[in-house]
Structure 1
Amino acid sequence: MSGVRPDAAGDDETSEPSGKASRVDPTPEHFKRLHPLTPLLRGWAFLAAAIAFGGQDALRSGEMGRFGITVVGIAILGMVTGLLSWWFTRYGFDGDALRIDSGMLNRRSRRVRLDRLQAVDINRPLAGRLLGVSELRLEVAGGGKAEAPLQYLAVDDAVRLRAELLARAAGIDADTPEAPERVVHQVPLDRLVWSTVLSGVFVMGLVILVGMGVAFAFVPNRTATMGVAWSMLPGIIAIGAALWNQLGRNFGFVLAESPDGYRIRKGLLDTQHQTVPPGRVQGVALRQPLLWRVKGWVRLDVDVAGYSGESTDDSQRTSTLLPVATFDEAAEVLRQVLPGSDPLAVPLSTAPRPARWLRPFGWKRLAYGFDDHVVVVREGVLYRNLTAVPHAKAQSVRINQGPVQRRLGLATVHVDTTPGPVDAVIRHRYAAEARQIVDGQTERSRVARKVDVPEQWMARYRFAGSDRDGDADGDGNPTASSERDQE
């Protein structure tokens, strides 16, 4: 295996101070605290878990009185701890950074540099919606997770702070209102429901339920009946997962275009307001499951710098640009997200004939091509994928060659971006061709990075009588936040 990292000129390292940690500066008086209901929202899940697990033992032993006293004690302890954490947590602007101070015994001061800000998202969990509060998540270049999420703020405060963060990051007046938007796509509820029903997980779960139901009808023994009933559990879980992942999370999905980038609003119970700046998109994948082909539907996924280190669950929530759309609708958005290029029009070359020994079905679908802006990879027979990665966003290019590939004289090339759901893998090419692909892609990435000078947010747009300018590179640079802890 070999790899080459394209020139990453312009990366900006943030180094930690060496030696002893310096004393945390006193929190300025003008810094604000989080919403007063924050301790309640943070502690209810822990209390619910204690009741759920402790309640089972109490029911078995019959000692409900002792259990009640324990729950009250846990509630009081959790409330006191939450109140102290809330009291010592304050946030505000400190020069060109958002500063968040927290901790009672161990003081912690975190600074999130605004010139590395990738996105500012507003999430409203169900409990937060009932109490009128929101969570503000800050995503920065190279961050392993959301940098110092502000849990929780009043809804109006969260919207106002988000607009101020975007304005400051753009280098304009902090009081500038949020940029206007134009709705690009809304997912109809009936289409979302049918796309869920036609998903592979839902169909598999339904097949399991039907099969177990038939077996259940012909089983005379009660003990065996209970066994059959328990066997239906995987099908129920599969159907529930499909309903939640596609229908629950993407309910009311709206994609809008603004100078900030693409704005996404979605969610049934927990609502999410997300921004995907086009300049931060590292790769795009057009996907079409087998059963969606009847309707001509596809899904559009993206890799976005700043979201790369999140959990799998969070990554699924933040990587979907279109959960279900017609091919033409997705193609239009694809061309807008990757300006200057049309990945669907890039000429593709298929894999050589020896690849059929490794991919008996669908080896002719393995194809690769490039133009001046992107590298495009196509694969899949039952589940079709078309992946496009801008040359300037490629983090590295490498070759893999397994033992069977060596025997056939083949190799696979990986064009790596930030971690995420989009992978550009050029499978089963002749070894000499694979080396040429690596050399060519490395050179194209190097040239593209020189041309792709990091631009400020919204620099090309005018609204509200002013230009919005901000700085971020979107190439996976190291995180912009720095911490100084003092015990």
Structure 2
Amino acid sequence: MTPDAAPPPLPAATQPERRLHPMSWLFVLLQQLKQFIVPLIALVVFGSGDRDELWPLIGVAVLVVTSLWQYFTYRYGVSGDSLVVRSGLLERSVRVIPFARIHNVALQQSVLHRVFGVAEVRLESAGGKKPEAQMRVLKLEDALALEALVRRRGTAASDAGEVREADTLLALSPLEVLKVGLISNRGLIVIGAGVAGVSQFSPRVLPNFFEAFGTRVLGFAGEHHFGPADYAIAALSLLALGLVLLRLLSVLLALLQYFGFRLSEHERRLTVERGLLARWRTSASRRRIQAWTLREGLIHRLLKRRSLEVDTAVAEEQNQQRALREIAPVATPARCDELIEHLLPKAAWTQLQWQALPTSAWWRLLLPEIVPTLLAAGFATWRFGAWGLLALLWLPWSAWRARQRIRRAAYGVNASVVAVREGWWSRHWRFAEIDKLQALQLTRSPIDRRCGTATLWMDTSGAGAMAPPLRIRFLPEAEAQALYAALSRTLAKQALRW
């Protein structure tokens, strides 16, 4: 995909309806085969008799007919300020989608898509569990033209106006992509998914593997008369090897997902393009961004980098990648601040005044770890004797860590944004524009009432499951009430902006 290329514009007025790409039925068929591949394999493997063996072929034939039917009955076109999608023949469906309702345009190209020069287009809005329209597939030129049309109509720009080239805000070199892999733990996610898949296929595969591996290792150690020190060195070596392999897998996944990463801006619309073999191209209006998350882990600090993510007002479909989430998978702290200042010029991010939380609340961060530690120490003592009491050493470490976390915890509020800073070992900054807040809630737990404190929760649209909550904890009650009242007055005067 070439984001700077000027795609052929679609007519502004009502235009003749268009079909999908002639090979779209093949991609629909492949998608359906992915869903039914397990039942089809089961019929082939466990079927008995010639008649049963025909059922997989019949099933594939039905899927082929369904795919061709969708191609011949699917149409789309432009009518005024709306996109019109027609589908079905016996049971007809007409969907009229105003351009103002489309919040995100996502283009995806797998390796097979790139071979045929096509792309899958997904138009998403802030409402509903599914995309407003999903076109599988369009010719790449038509997909880019549709994206350009949505961008122009969504910003109320004149179709006859001059097309300005997109401005590149951030581009990652291959070296920076490697740093993404070193920072992330995506390899662990893939291994977890693989273990779950193998367990579903056969619950005894992994136990048998580890049993055989353990027998061989212990047999080797017994033959060479390993002592305690040798066992410790071998265990540490295996652990180090596992961590290295896990990090290499994360680097490989980062190359596949983020190679050629480019963040660009065109008429207040952000576009991200990335991917080595498969390519993703997503775009969303800046005003659709609801909240921001700035992350900094231990490896981030060693590499002098941070990550910047956003929440957009787009419903997230199950097992679907977030439309526009990572503004900067990795960048220097100064570059992240520059991006925030550019995209939120009124926030005065670098001049934000931070208010520290009471440091006396450190013990409340320690509370959740006391009971599990005592239980673990009790079990270890019952199993290994007095050596199990060493597990109690976790409590001093947890107490020291809680003190470090509370010292860094703070919040900041000005006329435009509200921000929260938390974490120590792994840090994050969570912030949002005040006029994007949808709800305020002041809560007090029994401990809060005992300590005279409260927690202020702030909700926005489109918050992801992995995003930290936007909340201010351990505030003195009077300060929390005053902040709640001030934000409520500000929200009452301003209209909610999506």
TM-score above 0.5: yes
Query: Is 1:355–1:363's contact at 8 Å kept on the other side of the alignment?
Result: yes
Q: Which residue of 1 aligns with 2:217?
A: 218
Match of 1:363 among 406, 412, 416: 406
> Equivalent residues in 2 for 1:304-343 (5 A)?
304-305=312-313, 307-311=314-318, 313-315=320-322, 318-343=324-349
Flag the 1:154–1:123 CA change in 2: closer, same or farther, 3 A.
Answer: same
Letter in 2 for 1:328: A
Q: Which residue of 2 aligns with 1:77?
A: 62
User: Shift of the alpha carbon at 1:254?
Assistant: 0.8
- Runs of at least 5 residues in structure 1 that lack an aligned partner in the other structure: 1-27, 222-227, 451-472, 477-487
User: Shift of the alpha carbon at 1:265?
Assistant: 0.6
Q: Which residue of 1 aligns with 2:280?
A: 272
CA distance in 2, matches of 1:189, 1:100: 40
Match of 1:393 among 436, 452, 457: 436
Match of 1:91 among 50, 55, 76: 76
Letter in 1 for 2:56: V
Letter in 2 for 1:220: G
Letter in 2 for 1:186: A
Residue deviations 1:231-256, cap 9 Å, x none? 99x99997698457644322211112
Flag the 1:218–1:394 CA change in 2: closer, same or farther, 3 A.
Answer: same
CA distance in 2, matches of 1:76, 1:331: 56
| Pairwise CA RMSD | 3.4
Letter in 2 for 1:358: R
Flag the 1:99–1:402 CA change in 2: closer, same or farther, 3 A.
Answer: same
Residue deviations 1:360-380, cap 9 Å, x none? 411122211111111111001
Match of 2:477 among 417, 428, 431: 431
Flag the 1:154–1:237 CA change in 2: closer, same or farther, 3 A.
Answer: farther
> Equivalent residues in 2 for 1:39-438 (5 A)?
39-48=25-34, 50-55=36-41, 58-59=44-45, 69-174=54-159, 179-200=164-185, 202=187, 218-220=217-219, 242=250, 246-305=254-313, 307-311=314-318, 313-315=320-322, 318-360=324-366, 361=402, 362-421=405-464, 422=467, 423-438=469-484
Letter in 2 for 1:334: I
Tell me the TM-score normalised to structure 2 length. Answer: 0.73
Flag the 1:60–1:96 CA change in 2: closer, same or farther, 3 A.
Answer: closer
Query: Is 1:260–1:275's contact at 8 Å kept on the other side of the alignment?
Result: no
Letter in 2 for 1:338: L
Query: Is 1:167–1:175's contact at 8 Å kept on the other side of the alignment?
Result: no
Letter in 1 for 2:141: D
User: Shift of the alpha carbon at 1:130?
Assistant: 2.4
CA distance in 2, matches of 1:254, 1:385: 23
Residue deviations 1:77-98, cap 9 Å, x none? 1111122222221111223211
Q: Which residue of 1 aligns with 2:199?
A: none
Question: Does 2:483 match 1:440?
Answer: no
Flag the 1:417–1:241 CA change in 2: closer, same or farther, 3 A.
Answer: farther
User: Shift of the alpha carbon at 1:174?
Assistant: 3.8
CA distance in 2, matches of 1:89, 1:286: 42
User: Shift of the alpha carbon at 1:395?
Assistant: 0.8
Higher deviation after alignment, 168-177 or 254-263? 168-177
Q: How many residues align?
A: 409
Flag the 1:205–1:217 CA change in 2: closer, same or farther, 3 A.
Answer: farther
**SS of corresponding position for 1:158:** helix
Work out which of the two has the higher radius of gyration on C-alpha atoms and give 1 or 2: 2
Letter in 2 for 1:264: V
Tell me the TM-score normalised to structure 1 length. Answer: 0.75
Query: Is 1:91–1:98's contact at 8 Å kept on the other side of the alignment?
Result: yes
Greater relative contact order, per chain length (Cα 8 Å cut-off, separation 6+): 1
User: Shift of the alpha carbon at 1:43?
Assistant: 1.4
CA distance in 2, matches of 1:220, 1:179: 70
Q: Which residue of 1 aligns with 2:4?
A: none
**SS of corresponding position for 2:307:** strand
Flag the 1:143–1:62 CA change in 2: closer, same or farther, 3 A.
Answer: closer
Flag the 1:245–1:67 CA change in 2: closer, same or farther, 3 A.
Answer: farther
CA distance in 2, matches of 1:389, 1:48: 39
Letter in 1 for 2:177: L
Q: Which residue of 2 aligns with 1:480?
A: none
Q: Which residue of 2 aligns with 1:31?
A: 17
Higher deviation after alignment, 85-94 or 197-206? 197-206
Query: Is 2:84–2:96's contact at 8 Å kept on the other side of the alignment?
Result: yes
Letter in 2 for 1:82: S
CA distance in 1, matches of 2:317, 2:477: 35
User: Shift of the alpha carbon at 1:304?
Assistant: 1.3
Query: Is 2:358–2:475's contact at 8 Å kept on the other side of the alignment?
Result: yes
Flag the 1:202–1:166 CA change in 2: closer, same or farther, 3 A.
Answer: closer
Query: Is 1:164–1:176's contact at 8 Å kept on the other side of the alignment?
Result: no
CA distance in 1, matches of 2:304, 2:39: 47
**SS of corresponding position for 1:165:** helix
Letter in 1 for 2:329: P
Give the structure with the larger helix fraction.
2
User: Shift of the alpha carbon at 1:194?
Assistant: 3.0
- Runs of at least 5 residues in structure 2 that lack an aligned partner in the other structure: 1-13, 196-209, 221-234, 367-401
CA distance in 1, matches of 2:245, 2:53: 33
CA distance in 2, matches of 1:244, 1:415: 37
**SS of corresponding position for 1:252:** coil
Query: Is 1:197–1:203's contact at 8 Å kept on the other side of the alignment?
Result: no
Flag the 1:261–1:297 CA change in 2: closer, same or farther, 3 A.
Answer: same
Query: Is 1:263–1:274's contact at 8 Å kept on the other side of the alignment?
Result: yes
Flag the 1:128–1:29 CA change in 2: closer, same or farther, 3 A.
Answer: same
CA distance in 1, matches of 2:119, 2:88: 22
